[in-house]
Amino acid sequence: MHRRAAVVLVLGVLLAAGCSARESDDSAPDVPGALYVDPRSSAARWVEANPDDPRAAVIRDRLASHAVARWIGPDNVRENVEGYTLAAARKRQTPVLVAYNIPVRDCNQEAAGGARSGGDYRQWAADLAAGIGRRPAIVIAEPDALIHLDCLSEQGRRERARLLTTLVDTLRERAPRALVYLDAGDGRWNSPETMAPLLAAAGIAGARGFALNVANYNPTLDLIGVAKELRELLSDRYGINTHFVLDTGRNGNPDYDGKDWCNPPDRRLGDPPVVGGQDGLDARLWVKPPGESDGDCGTAPGTTAGTFAPDLAYRMAVG
């Protein structure tokens, strides 16, 4: 997914959608048990289909054995989410979901798609919440939705802010144990000064917080600094206290300048998924499953965005 900076000119437009403050919440995240390890993740399915491949043991032990997020698109959302969260609940574990169906998704680039209309999206959000029900879950809300605004009209930008707020509110009301984190960009090209008003306008006051570095490669120490600044801006300017999560699946090599976002070379697995942290950090997660391609580019030519590429996975695991 192309991580472009949000357009500063849209801030006033989105702020017209409004935001509301909430009381400070310094509680630990409600995450029962461990994070759910999906036995049908893309890495696990590849290992099952290729048991004799010389790369299989490494991919099994270093990728498939860890919790990764399940990305939720437009199809059979209630049925799929209900089945997935029930499977996690039976193991007394907490699943990680990515809500990824905003209209004009990814500005019609590598991961194009999404709901056909605002009405379809609102129904989809209701079905997503119904699928989760009263079970615990971590939900990453709409990666790239707030940084991909320059392809939308003024009306489209307003509608996007309303739809994100609807998603947050629907999950809060109908899936009360879901911890929702709005995507806040990559922490490099999307400055806290830019992202704070966008998040406020998109309903972060009703969410648990924000997610940084989804599907990107920026090092954890840099992200911690960005998160600190963004939390302070949201608190000081909007009265909104937030927590945050980081996508650490592919940021194990700190030598990264951010210029090459699509299957760049020399990337490594980052910190394993774990709940907990300090100064507002709720969890390190593998939101973009390591080994899944960013698209037909870089070190994985001929692949499609979101498909598992064993060579890519193996190189991330062993260097």
The answer to whether the annotation marks 251 as part of a ligand binding site is: no
Sheet arrangement for strand 274-275: 70-72, 96-99, 137-141, 178-183, 209-212, 243-247, 281-285, 274-275
The answer to whether the annotation marks 218 as part of a ligand binding site is: no
The answer to whether the annotation marks 216 as part of a ligand binding site is: yes
144 is catalytic: yes
* Nearest partner of 245 among 101, 42, 71, 69, judged by Cα: 69
Q: How far apart, in whole angstroms, are the C-alpha atoms of residue 41 and residue 51?
A: 15
Instruction: Please say whether the dihedral angle defined by the alpha carbons of residues 103, 85, 181 and 185, taken in this order, is positive or negative.
Output: negative
Please identify which of the residues 127, 144, 183, 186 carries the catalytic annotation. 144
The answer to whether the annotation marks 124 as part of a ligand binding site is: no
Query: CB of 287 within 8 A of CB of 214?
Result: yes
127 is catalytic: no
The answer to whether the annotation marks 292 as part of a ligand binding site is: yes
* Nearest partner of 131 among 84, 69, 71, judged by Cα: 84
| Strand duo 281-285 + 243-247: pairing | parallel
SS3 69: coil
Please identify which of the residues 106, 127, 186, 294 carries the catalytic annotation. 294
Going by C-beta distance under 8 Å and a sequence separation of 6 or more, which residues neighbour residue 272?
66, 248, 284, 286
- Binding-site positions for substrate: 71, 189, 216, 261, 288, 292
Q: Catalytic site residues? A: 144, 294
- Binding-site positions: 71, 189, 216, 261, 288, 292
